Each structure stands twice: as structure tokens, then as C-alpha cells.
Structure 1
């Protein structure tokens, strides 16, 4: 059984390694595009996106007027493949040094966010190098985990010790932990700002968890 999140728990989920607090949610409808998967996996990924966006009471759209697509997910086998994607280096400056750094770290995933003038999320790039570790994760679990970690700007330390997902008692289906689902809903409360650097924002989020 999941324990409710305390205000301290909520604050920690948005407190970064440099001890600064930063919360942000999407400020525009999400327009996803997925690269490197077959039709079956594409359906799974888009289903996960739709489920999490619906949970957040946010919106999706057919196109973004500025970027076309604003949530791009890349599935690949080798980091070098990113250097071959047309125009990706225009969207992500310093792409080659980033690829070299991720290769050196033997990373299998990386997320980049872009923000509008008000600090809300306007775009995200999700890179997944399908090594043996990620390849062993069911598509449904991998997709849900990635979208949950993209729907809000979590701390770089969030979920290091505990996944946002949990397996049902029968050992079958993997679901989003209820307390994380509640926090996502609270984060998209229209009364709250789309971005905050004030740690007191965690208290406002926590109050909405109690209300829910």
C-alpha cells in the first residue's frame, strides 16, 4: 500500500542537486512524435501519453504552431544514430558533445526540456538507447515511466531511489503509484502557476493532495 506524500516528500521531488527548487508543467497542448519503433510499440507509447495527459487534465493537439511536434521520443541502439537524424542538431545545440558525453557515461536514457518565456515546458526530447537493460523492460512499463517523468519537470534526483511505478500485488500489471498520480493532477491545477522557484509551492501542491 502506498503512503501519502508529505509536504517534505513533495518538496524533495522538485528540489534539484544544487538544492534549488524548480517546478514546471506544460504550458501548451502536447504534440508527440515517436521515432524508431514499430507500429505495435508506437500504439503502446501513444496510449501511455494519452493516459498521463488525461490524468493531468491537460490537452493534446495535432500540431504545435511553433515546433510542429513538441514531445519527441527517440528509440535507438547507439548514441551515434542521433547524429544522423536530419536537423536534430538545429533543435539541440551542441548535439555532438552531448552524444559523446552520454556515450562516455554509458547512459541508456536522457531527457531535455525547453521552456517558454514564463518558464512553462514548451518542448521535451526523450532519448532511449535500447541496451540489454531497457530492452528487458516491457514496452508498456517503459513508455509509462518515460511519460510520467516528462509530464512535469521533476528534480534530477527524483525517482533515483524509488520508481514512480509499482506492480500490482498479483505481480502482473504495472501502474503509476497513486500518490504520484495525485501529485501530477495537483500540479496541473489551473489555479496554480505553471512554473515556480519557491519551495512554498510544495505546500500548495500538498494541500491539493489532501483535498483530493
Structure 2
């Protein structure tokens, strides 16, 4: 990918540029899936974290778990989750808006004082479309979309995943390269200047 293509992945709908990565080890917890599906979701997170060269942990000292993934059938279920409204202010009105829009997924990020990601909440409504997506694909897609703060427009035209050998789904190589570059220790955890995309592209080219 050239610098312009990289820049587009982090340029938001309002024209601002923002790239942020996790500033602490990731501790995932998953709600709303069968026991057999838990390893699939956590395995996808582990794979993407390993790709980034980042770390996972057993617990977060502040939140216990800092990556919370919810699977459910109806947005009306979320406000009924005990204490979730304490973590997400105005949860009920948000769910009403998402239901009215027919949304089937939504992500909320929390940031530390420096702007790095400190927590993320992933909501996946299992509508007819989502129910047809294999668990491995759905898990990998969500893991990719929380490993860095992408633009709200980043994957509207093309998925970050691609079909691999024997029908398996894998991360697009160029997106994997962006993730690895974003976690390069020489680059900042947070960048708001579009020139950062030049540095990302340079790191990707150096690895290739």
C-alpha cells in the first residue's frame, strides 16, 4: 500500500486523521456465545495481537477485562445487562438509535490520558446476515477492527479479510502490514497528523 492508501484507513468522515493503538495488554471477555465458541473468539484475538507484536494478560488492573465482546439477538437486550450502563453512559438511547438504523455491529473505544486505547466494547447483533457468517470469520473480523482505531470509513468498500486456501478466511496481507507497522515501537501510540501515514508506509516497505 502507498501512503495515500494507508492515510485513507485512518482519515475519518470529518476529514481528521487519527491512528491509535493499545497502550496496555489486552484482556478479552466474551458474552453471549456457547462454551465451544469461546476459544474461537479468543483465539482470533490472540492471533491478531501476536501479529501486532502486542501483549495479552490475564487481568487488567483497572477494569479486570478491557476488551468486552457481546453477541446478542436484539439491541434491547443490552440495557438489561447488569452494570453495563455504568461502563457505557446513555446506553439505552444508543441502543434505540442502533436498532432504528438496523445496525448489526458497533464498537466503542476508551482512551488513556495519552490517547492510546485502554478499553474497547464490541457489540454484534446476530441478525440473519451475521448468523450466516462462520464463527471463525466473524471473530477474526472483530479482532482486526479493535486492534487499532481505524477510520469509521476504513472498511466500507472492502473487507479487511480475504478468502485463502481451501476456503479459509485470512487477513488481507496489506492490512496485516499496516497493523504490524502501527505497533512498531519507533512510532507513537497515537498520531493525529496525516504525515504519520508516510511513516507507516515506510515501515511496511522496510519489512517487505
Q: TM-score, normalised by structure 1?
A: 0.97
**How big is the shift at 1:169?**
5.4
1:85 has 2:81 as partner: yes
Deviation at 1:17, TM superposition (A): 0.1
Shift of 1:40: 1.4
Q: Unaligned regions of 5+ residues in structure 2, if any? A: none
Q: Which of 118, 132, 139 is the aligned partner of 1:136?
A: 132
Q: Which is richer in helix?
A: 2
1:35 is matched with 31
Q: Distance in 1 between matches of 2:177 and 2:35?
A: 31
1:153 — aligned with what? 149
User: Which residue number in structure 1 is paired with residue 178 of structure 2?
Assistant: 183
Aligned counterpart for 1:74 among listed residues 70, 73, 77: 70
In the alignment of these two chains, the number of paired residues is 207
Query: Which stretches in structure 1 are left out of the alignment for 5+ residues?
Result: none
Which residue does 2:160 correspond to in 1? 164
1:186 CA displacement? 0.4
Distance 2:164 2:18 in 1: 31
Structure 2 distance, partners of 1:169, 1:163, is 17
Alignment of 1:18-57 (within 5 A): 18-57=14-53
Distance (whole Å) between structure 1 residues aligned to residue 36 and residue 162 of structure 2: 23
Provide the C-alpha distance between the structure 2 equivalents of 1:29 and 1:144, rounded to a whole number of angstroms: 18
Greater than 4 Å deviation, 4+ residue runs: none
Q: CA deviation at 1:39?
A: 1.4
Mapped to 2, the partners of 1:27 and 1:181 lie a distance apart of 19
Secondary structure, aligned partner of 1:45: helix
TM-score normalised per structure 2? 0.98
Which residue number corresponds to residue 105 of structure 2? 109
CA distance in 2, matches of 1:33, 1:202: 32
The reply on whether 1:198 has 2:193 as its aligned counterpart is: yes
